[in-house]
Structure formats: C-alpha cells, structure tokens
Amino acid sequence: MLARTHPSQVERRCPICARLYFVRLKYVKRGEGQYCSPSCFHKARNRPEAERFWEKVKETASCWLWTGANKPGRWPYGMLAGPGKTAKLAHRVSWELHHGAIPTGLNVLHKCDNPSCVRPDHLFLGTLADNTADMIAKGRGKGGRPIGTKLSPASLASFRSKRRKRF
C-alpha cells in the first residue's frame, strides 16, 4: 500500500499498467490524473483510433452519444485526439470507421441535429450549401435575417412604419 503524501489525494489504478498511485483531488475534478506516468499517457494515446473512439461512445435507443472531450465553443461537437496529430471531430471519425474516407469538399452532417451524436445512420455527406439548406428546412436558421440582426426584414419594416406614424 502506498502512503498518502497530501490529505486531498485519492488512490487510483492506472488503466494501462494497473499500478496504484495517488493523485490530488483537484486534478481528478479537472479530468486529469488518469494515468500514473507520462509513458502510460502516451501508450494510451497511441492505441488504434477505433479502440479510443468506442470507449467514448454511449449507445442509447436513438442517438449514440459522444462522452469524450468536446470542441470548445458554441456547439458540443466531440473531439478525438491522436498521437502527435490534431484532434478530429468525433462524428467525422465515426463516418470514416463505418464508410471509409470523406471525399474532399464534403462535410459530415447530422440528420438528428444532435452535435454529440456519432451514430452512422444519423450522419450523411453534404456540402456547406446542403448543410445550410438542411438548417433552414428544419427551422434552425435565423429565418432570412441578415447576420448580426435581431429583426427579420418584415418585422423591421413594421417597426419603422409604426415609428414614423408616431412622429
């Protein structure tokens, strides 16, 4: 048994080498301290992409949800990092695992409109124009408003005519 060196440490077992080690609770809360050493961390990252992908997928009745890291920003698209490579979007990795390479100029789009879904039958290939048309057809767009505005052209015209009548 290892001796605890700090009162806020917790005992963990390394998923790669099965060695027991202690890690501070603040690192566990941040999602760090999963491996006992940098060498075990690199062994974990060098595993095949499919193996790293499937351990982060939760299959539900409808969507297969990505439980790994998410892309920072507005939408929670999943990210899968590889050894020495930039991270890839999880739904693109799912498409590649099930259907092969993604042709240049095409994007992987969601039928279910769930950014964290990686279920292959909920994904389809399309251009940026296809994605925009899909967004508008499903009512997820701004409704024809110019970017950066809060009012539609019809609402703006109505507002301006009412304003003119007051003065």
CB 153 within 8 A of CB 145: yes
pLDDT tens digit sequence for 41-83: 888 888 888 998 999 999 999 999 999 888 887 778 999 987 7
Q: What is the pLDDT of residue 87?
A: 86
Range picked from 20-24, 78-82, 101-105 for highest mean pLDDT: 101-105
For residues 90-129, one letter each, b for 16 or more C-beta atoms within 10 angstroms of the residue's C-beta and e for the rest, the string is bbbbbbbeeeeeeeeeebbbbeeebbbbbbeebbbeeeee
pLDDT tens digit sequence for 74-100: 778 999 987 766 789 999 999 999 999
- Angstrom distance (rounded) from CA 21 to CA 113: 42
Q: What is the pLDDT of residue 19?
A: 93
CB 17 within 8 A of CB 40: yes
- Angstrom distance (rounded) from CA 3 to CA 7: 11
Secondary structure of 115-149 in HEC code, one letter for each residue: CCECCHHHEEEECHHHHHHHHHHCCCCCCCCCCCC
pLDDT tens digit sequence for 137-166: 887 766 555 566 677 777 778 888 887 776
Residue 8 pLDDT more than 70?
yes
Which pLDDT band, with edges at 50, 70 and 90, does 109 fall under? Answer: very high
